[in-house]
Structure 1
Amino acid sequence: MRSELEEFGGIDDGTEPTGIETGTTIVAVAGSEGAVLAADRRASLGGRLVTNRSVRKIEPVAERAAVAFSGTVGGAQAFLRGLRAHRRRYEQRHGEASVETIATVAGRLIAEGGFGVGLLLAGVDRGESGPTPAVYEIDPAGGVLATEYAASGSGTQLAYGALEGSVDTGGTPEAIEETAIGAVRAASERDAVSGDGVTVARLSGAGVSIEEVA
């Protein structure tokens, strides 16, 4: 793993982060057949003044992997450019990168790039025994933790309260999606810098689909 990760090359963040922050509440859940990311849509200035009510905080980073981010918008944009470029370089030399490899490199980018963002990464590996969903929590210092479900952002505690009372990681894709969306909505009710609807990403062996829901 170590020698292969070196193929991603050096870190180049490409831009200066802006002061526009995403709030925020983001949630990830891995089920038995797939994974789900959910995020609110509100952006604010300095975590106080609402500046945008339709920000998409979930972006695909591979055919079957995506990230949800909290922090500055500029930092998230620079991070996404860097991760996608390093993934493409890796896959040209080694073939498709696993979700674990993408998460590990994402953590290194965060640690070395100074992007000012926190991440949840979810994806699905396709193996001989079928699809294997995975969720990784990546903190602003670059720490990477594999987990069955996670929340991040200003609404973290509220979202965890909702998740821990209802999450069933062995549930159907529809059930884990409902749980993830419910956790974001529960946090948005009490967190002033979260809200304005939910973006949900569905990850399966077939790929990533992203939708805005009320």
Structure 2
Amino acid sequence: MIELGPGPSFFEHLTRDRPDLLPATSTVPLGEATIKAPHGTTIVALSYADGIVMAGDRRATMGNVIASRRIEKVFETDHYSVLGIAGTAGIAIDIAKLFRVELEHYEKIEGTRLSLDGKANRLASMIRSNLQMAMQGMSVVPLFAGFDTFAGSGRIFSFDITGGLYEEVEHHCIGSGSPYARGALKKLWEPGLGATAAVKIAVEALYDAADDDSATGGPDPVRGLWPVVYTVDATGAHRVEEPILSDMAREIIAERTASGKEA
């Protein structure tokens, strides 16, 4: 018998040989949809002149309870892409980790990086594999973005729980706070933004979401908690440092406070 060597997809390898290691292996018994698990929200992404920005708040909720104030929902998946997660936190984080391994495995086997479209399609397949869990209330909805080295620009991709894949233009957001964040993005985004301006808009959109959505955590100067923010451009993915985010958040708070006093 001829044994085939490892393929470029680590996810397919697990699906074939070790499905027990996949995040979607366990299922919730029918009739037990009331099981509570921490959920993460909100994620925003927007394009700017040289690439994209993605940001996520730090709160996870379980019903009306704050399950965590320090969860991270935006991950660097490889040198030119980032992934933001909303939905059932445990499954979402596992899928994010598996997706990062999937991209590393492909690069080692093929000797080259997967295209940005290829990455988005691989992620769609992984989300589709979680459909059974999603139908039982344990859904995961990611937001994926990166710098397309072939096109020379940043691109944003959204998904639905069935693995449907959609490319977004200009900006997009997911999670329970997305309606409020989207309103901020529509007002503040404009073509040709610089990286600093784009990061501030992302932080301000999350601030607006937190103002109206109890599941979204705003900047917390008392605990020193700020959103997780990444920029991705031709030089790669870079996490924005907390002192920069602290200054931006405090500036936004001061502007809103002054505006409220004037009113």
Shift of 1:196: 4.0
RMSD: 2.1
**Correspondence for 2:236:** 207
Shift of 1:109: 0.5
**Correspondence for 2:147:** 124
Q: Runs ≥4 in structure 1, deviation > 3 angstroms?
A: 14-18, 211-214
2:39 corresponds, among 21, 39, 56, to 21
Contact 2:85 2:93 in 1 (8 A): no
Structure with greater strand percent: 1
Contact 2:8 2:106 in 1 (8 A): yes
* TM-score (normalised: structure 2): 0.71
Aligned residues between the structures = 205
Runs (5+) with no aligned partner, structure 2: 1-6, 28-35, 134-138, 220-226, 247-263
**Correspondence for 2:198:** 176
Shift of 1:125: 2.3
After TM superposition, the structure 1 = structure 2 runs for residues 1-214 of structure 1, keeping only pairs within 5 Å, are 7-8=8-9, 10=12, 11=15, 12=19, 13-14=22-23, 16=26, 19-22=37-40, 24-46=41-63, 48-91=64-107, 92-93=109-110, 95-114=112-131, 116-127=139-150, 131-148=152-169, 149-197=171-219, 198-211=227-240, 212=242, 213-214=245-246
Shift of 1:7: 4.3
User: RCO higher in 1 or 2 (8 Å CA, sep ≥ 6)?
Assistant: 1
CA distance in 1, matches of 2:238, 2:196: 14
Shift of 1:94: 5.7
Amino acid in structure 1 at the alignment position of 2:79: E
Runs (5+) with no aligned partner, structure 1: 1-5
For each residue in 1:20-71, what CA deviation from the matched residue of structure 2 results, as whole angstroms up to 9, or x when unmatched? 111x11101122201100111101113x200211111100111110111101
* TM-score (normalised: structure 1): 0.87
CA distance in 2, matches of 1:169, 1:21: 33
Amino acid in structure 2 at the alignment position of 1:41: R
